């Protein structure tokens, strides 16, 4: 009987493990489909939709689409970045406290504490932003949302600068751990110096003994020499371990700082392009030109100009890429919103040609309804893609950083499941906007698991492992996502692309 090739056995094991991990990430993504669909149905019901419908005439269909799209993407990115920053802060404190010891190893406690903090922060901030947007729309209409979004976009760059200063101050406050570490290093060096002094004294005693005609081994016993040898080896080992621990601690702290700075820049500047588009198109609408062809031409020109300048930048950064993607998504939402209203108008013309005439008020109401429905549906779906993609970026970065693909995928899936269960329990206490924001936060956490699976597939040593992981991811998402092939077909590739992006 022939022996199996060890390489084939390893590839088979890798494929089986990859399929299991991919299926786990896909399943948690699929589990979020039904709750998200239910909350979207609630948000597009007659009651919540009424304030939006009333404002179509104020800001125009293009303005409504860009305003809702920019708001949804801004709140989505802000909630994810809030979770990332909270996770980084917890990890930084954990690293600073561990620095007091003689060794530092990125234990499971580091990743667990950071993961729980990030998932909780994303979900809580998502619920807060969702409830806030709902309150602004109900109380101050779309005009209030327009001014709030504009003010928030203007304030983000100076706030990001202030946050960087506070972050550096906070890191300086953690210097106590490094001082303790320095004292411990000095103690080791002092012990080694004392040992060298004793060795020098012993050598002098041996020389004196030889000069007097005695035995060179009589001054120091064999047990003493063995003990001193062990002491020298122990001190050398402690010194080496301490240097390695300090280097490892500094490396992971530098990585945490890089993550924070990059994400703060991303939060501060990525929303500017789409907010500018929303301001211009909403301005046309409030000036009475919301349905005018000039608004569409200005929108196309503005998107093209901003995209060109960002993509042609010599110092291209991650926020520029995502800013362009968000602006293009906002543009698509605006087009869908405009198209929905035009479709309702064409249907009314067909009904009039068939002898079923409608009043101008009924036609206008129907157009406003369709535009509002399309704007909310598209904006919510784009926000979901944004949350999923940014979560996948974090998951992919963690896997490539060496956090362990199984830990990232399984841990994020467990956190997403726990948060989903918590959201179900707390749903009666939250508003529709709060529930929607919380669910999007759960989607972001699930995106970490999906991104980890995508990164594991990309980093597999064989095609079998890559295909098995991606196959498990797609099948798991479809099976528990009620076989929504279109939604899953858009979400999985988006998560895969974001997981492969290195924002650092």
DSSP 338-397: HHHHHHHHHHHHHHHHTT----HHHHHHHHHHHHHHHHHHHHHHHHHHHHHHHHHHHHHH
How much helix, strand and coil, in percent to the nearest 5, is found in the chain?
Answer: 85, 0, 15
**Confidence (pLDDT) at 212:** 64
User: Could you give the CA distance from residue 401 to residue 29 in angstroms, rounded to a whole number?
Assistant: 23
Residue 194: pLDDT over 70 = no
DSSP string, 203-218: HHHHHHHHHTT--TTS
Reported as type and span, the H/E element at residue 434 is: helix 432-458
pLDDT grade for 229, boundaries at 50, 70 and 90: low
User: Which pair of structure tokens corresponds to residue 32?
Assistant: 């979020």
What sign does the CA torsion over 67, 69, 72, 75 have? negative
**Confidence (pLDDT) at 388:** 92
User: Which pair of structure tokens corresponds to residue 322?
Assistant: 């995502």
Q: State mean pLDDT over 455-482.
A: 85
Query: Where do the structural domains in the chain lie, given as residue ranges?
Result: 13-179+268-500, 184-247
Q: What is the DSSP letter of 254?
A: H
pLDDT grade for 504, boundaries at 50, 70 and 90: low
pLDDT tens track for 128-140: 999 999 899 888 8
24-38, 342-356, 384-398: which has the minimum mean pLDDT? 342-356
* Half-sphere exposure in the Cβ direction for 100 (13 Å, CA): 8
In the 3-class helix/strand/coil scheme, how is 307-332 assigned residue by residue?
HHHHHCCCCCCHHHHHHHHHHHHHHH
**Confidence (pLDDT) at 326:** 87
pLDDT grade for 384, boundaries at 50, 70 and 90: very high
Q: State mean pLDDT over 424-435.
A: 86
User: Which pair of structure tokens corresponds to residue 85?
Assistant: 């920053």
**Confidence (pLDDT) at 1:** 43
Q: What is the DSSP letter of 100?
A: T
Per the CB < 8 A criterion, the answer to whether 396 and 469 are in contact is no
pLDDT tens track for 303-338: 889 888 888 888 778 788 888 888 999 999 988 888
Triad 391, 393, 394: Cα angle to 5°: 65
pLDDT tens track for 160-186: 888 888 887 766 665 545 555 555 566
Q: For residue 300, give the nearest of 275, 326, 277 by alpha carbon.
A: 277
pLDDT grade for 392, boundaries at 50, 70 and 90: very high
User: Could you give the CA distance from residue 85 to residue 420 in angstroms, rounded to a whole number?
Assistant: 22
DSSP string, 133-176: HHHHHHHHHHHHHHHHHHHHHHHHHHHHHHHHHHHHHHHHHTHH
Beta-carbon contacts of residue 46 (< 8 Å; ≥ 6 apart): none
pLDDT grade for 102, boundaries at 50, 70 and 90: very low
Average pLDDT, the chain: 81
227 SS3 class: helix
Which of 17-31, 289-303, 362-376 reaches the highest mean pLDDT?
17-31
Residue 92: pLDDT over 70 = yes
Residue, of 97 and 88, whose pLDDT is higher: 88
32 SS3 class: coil
**Residue 49: how many CB atoms within 10 A of its CB?**
16
User: Could you give the CA distance from residue 476 to residue 392 in angstroms, rounded to a whole number?
Assistant: 16
């Amino acid at each position: 009987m022939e022996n199996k090739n060890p390489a084939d056995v390893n590839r088979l094991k890798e494929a089986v493990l990859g399929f299991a991990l991919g299926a786990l990430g896909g399943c948690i993504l699929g589990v979020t489909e039904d709750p998200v669909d239910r909350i979207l149905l609630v948000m597009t019901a007659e009651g919540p939709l009424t304030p939006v419908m009333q404002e179509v005439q104020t800001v125009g269909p293009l303005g409504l689409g860009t305003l809702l799209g920019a708001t949804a993407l801004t709140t989505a990115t802000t909630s994810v970045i809030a979770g990332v920053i909270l996770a980084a802060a917890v990890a930084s404190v954990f690293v600073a406290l561990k620095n007091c010891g003689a060794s530092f190893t990125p234990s499971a406690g580091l990743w667990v504490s950071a993961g729980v903090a990030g998932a909780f922060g994303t979900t809580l901030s998502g619920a807060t932003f969702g409830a806030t947007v709902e309150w602004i729309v109900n109380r101050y209409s779309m005009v209030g949302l327009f001014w709030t979004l504009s003010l928030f976009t203007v304030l983000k760059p100076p706030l990001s600068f202030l946050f960087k200063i506070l972050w550096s101050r906070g890191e300086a406050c953690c210097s106590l751990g490094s001082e303790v570490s320095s004292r411990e290093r000095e103690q080791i060096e002092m012990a080694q110096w004392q040992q060298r002094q004793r060795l020098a004294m012993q050598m002098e005693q041996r020389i004196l003994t030889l000069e007097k005609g005695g035995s060179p081994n009589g001054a120091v016993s064999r047990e003493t020499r063995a003990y001193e040898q062990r002491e020298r080896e122990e001190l050398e080992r402690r010194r080496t371990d301490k240097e390695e621990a300090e280097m490892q601690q500094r490396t992971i702290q530098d990585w945490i700082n890089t993550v924070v700075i990059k994400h703060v820049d991303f939060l501060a500047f990525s929303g500017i392009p789409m907010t500018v588009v929303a301001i211009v198109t909403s301005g046309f609408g409030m000036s009475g030109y919301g349905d005018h062809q000039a608004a569409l031409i200005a929108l196309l020109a503005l998107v093209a100009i901003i995209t060109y300048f960002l993509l042609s930048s010599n110092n291209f950064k991650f926020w520029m890429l995502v800013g362009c993607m968000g602006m293009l998504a906002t543009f698509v939402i605006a087009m869908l919103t405009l198209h929905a209203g035009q479709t309702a108008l064409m249907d009314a013309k067909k009904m009039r040609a068939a002898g079923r005439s409608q009043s101008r008020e009924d036609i206008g109401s129907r157009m406003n309804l369709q535009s509002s429905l399309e704007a909310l549906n598209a904006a919510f779906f784009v926000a979901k893609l944004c949350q999923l993609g940014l979560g996948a970026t974090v998951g992919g970065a963690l896997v490539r950083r060496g956090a362990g693909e199984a830990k990232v995928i399984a841990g994020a899936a467990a956190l997403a499941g726990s948060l989903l269960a918590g959201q179900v329990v707390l749903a009666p206490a939250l508003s529709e906007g709060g529930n929607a924001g919380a669910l999007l936060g759960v989607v972001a956490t699930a995106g970490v698991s999906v991104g980890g699976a995508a990164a594991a597939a990309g980093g597999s040593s064989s095609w079998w492992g890559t295909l098995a992981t991606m196959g498990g991811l797609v099948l798991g998402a479809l099976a528990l996502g009620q076989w929504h092939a279109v939604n899953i077909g858009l979400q999985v590739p988006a998560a895969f692309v974001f997981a492969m992006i290195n924002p650092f």
